[in-house]
Amino acid sequence: MIPFLDLKAQYASIKDEVDAAVLGVLASAQYVLGEEVAEFEREFAAYCGTKHAVAVNTGTSALHLALIAAGVGPGDEVITVPFTFVATASAVCYVGARPVFVDVEPITLTMAPEKLEAAITPRTKAIVPVHLYGQMADMGEIAAIAARHGIPVIEDACQAHGAEYRGQRAGSIGALGCFSFYPGKNLGACGEGGIAVTDNDDHATMLRILRDWGQEQRYHHVLKGFNYRMDGIQGAILRVKLRHLEDWTNARRAHAARYSHLLKGLVDLVPPVEAPGRRHVYHVYAVRSRDRDSLARTLHSAGIQTGLHYPIPVHLQKAHADLGYQSGDFPAAERAAREVLSLPIYPEMTARQVEQVAASVEQDAYVA
């Protein structure tokens, strides 16, 4: 059996460090925020190349607070993509704003810059590109268009820890960048976690106040805030894991390179593409096939787990029917939703396992 990911294997590889970190927090009794979280914030900001990082309880909370810090509120519009995890759009709805979708590029499946300008209206208050699967959106083009219109960019970097665009790290190009530490992400907590990064001092101050009940000092509530604080134990564990992240990313990239080499030239199978000037961190390795379901069945019968990211684009989800979008509105996103299949990829995977998966994919291609 080849699992889709193996969190037990990751824990086994760093058990002593993680156990010591957890015991340290238990002994210190700094269970919410505290010194470990503060240190993690400094280390993660340095990793991203930003001045500040503000740790919260989930990636969705990071997006929610980033939108408030950027000044987005009821009646505003926020431009994002329909081909993403639903949380991107949910966060926009949390602040009372309306998600306005633009289609993705057919190859990278990230925001199509040439579709962006037409979606901008006087009510547009933020643009939220999603660095899907671990590859950054075309931030050069997107940031230039946003700057021309004076609209802030918030990067949904929840899948893209350490990804780069022309040497700049994910989260460091927009006004704010948001990350998730859900266990299966490239940098994962042992529970929930998230963080927002920024170079802007005022944004950072606001994020710190908002995550902790809107308090400037204890019981002085200057904003209507939230309980979005990170646990001390998660901060300590994330500090340990951050030290391994570059090795893990390099392992993911090596597996992806092997997959792409082995899967080259198969009929009706398109491996993912790393666009020029970008560093893909392969949170997901999604191939595309016109008969994706048959491929999934072949792999499952060979004992190989796969994933679907994502089978229904957000504009066609029942929860967002009120936005009034229809099937056919975003052809590239809808086609991707029908064709993508995520193959197992995680740092602890062996080269032999990558070869086994590739062999099963090849077998399906010949049968088809």
Ligand X SMILES: *Cc1c(COP(=O)(O)O)cnc(C)c1O
Residues marked active site are found at: 185
What are the distances in angstroms from CA 84 to CA 111, 193, 253, 338?
Answer: 10, 19, 22, 14
Side by side, the strands of the sheet bearing 52-56 are 52-56, 194-198, 176-180, 154-156
Of 84 and 306, CB closest to ligand X:
84
Among 30, 84, 108, 124, binds ligand X (CB under 6 A): 84
What stretch of H or E contains 239? helix 232-242
Choices 84-92, 228-236, 311-319, 346-354 (CB under 6 A): range interacting with ligand X: 84-92
Tell me how far, at minimum, the Cβ of 359 lies from ligand X, in Å. 29
- Interface with ligand X (CB under 6 A), residue total 15
Which 166-225 positions form the footprint of ligand X (CB under 6 A)?
180, 182, 192, 194
Q: Is 234 in the site for ligand X (CB under 6 A)?
A: no
Q: Distance between CA atoms of 187 and 94, rounded to whole angstroms?
A: 25
Site for ligand X contains 231 (CB under 6 A): no
Given candidates 10, 30, 50, 60, which one binds ligand X under the rule CB under 6 A?
60
Question: Euclidean distance between the first and final Cα of the chain, in Å?
Answer: 23
Minimal distance in Å, beta carbon 267 to ligand X?
31
Q: Which is nearer to ligand X, 60 or 342 (CB)?
A: 60
Q: Which letter, b or e, does each residue of 231-245 get, where b requires 16 or more Cβ atoms within 10 Å of its Cβ? A: bbbbbbbbbbbbebb
If the CB atoms of residues 152 and 177 are measured against ligand X, the closer one turns out to be: 177
Percent helix / strand / coil, the chain, rounded to 5: 45, 15, 40
Q: Which of residues 139-168 bind ligand X (CB under 6 A)?
A: 156, 158-159
Q: List the one residue out of 91, 99, 95 whose CA is nearest residue 72.
A: 95
- Which residue number, 315 or 360, has a Cβ lying nearer to ligand X? 315
Chain residues that interact with ligand X, rule: CB under 6 A: 58-60, 84-85, 87-88, 130, 156, 158-159, 180, 182, 192, 194
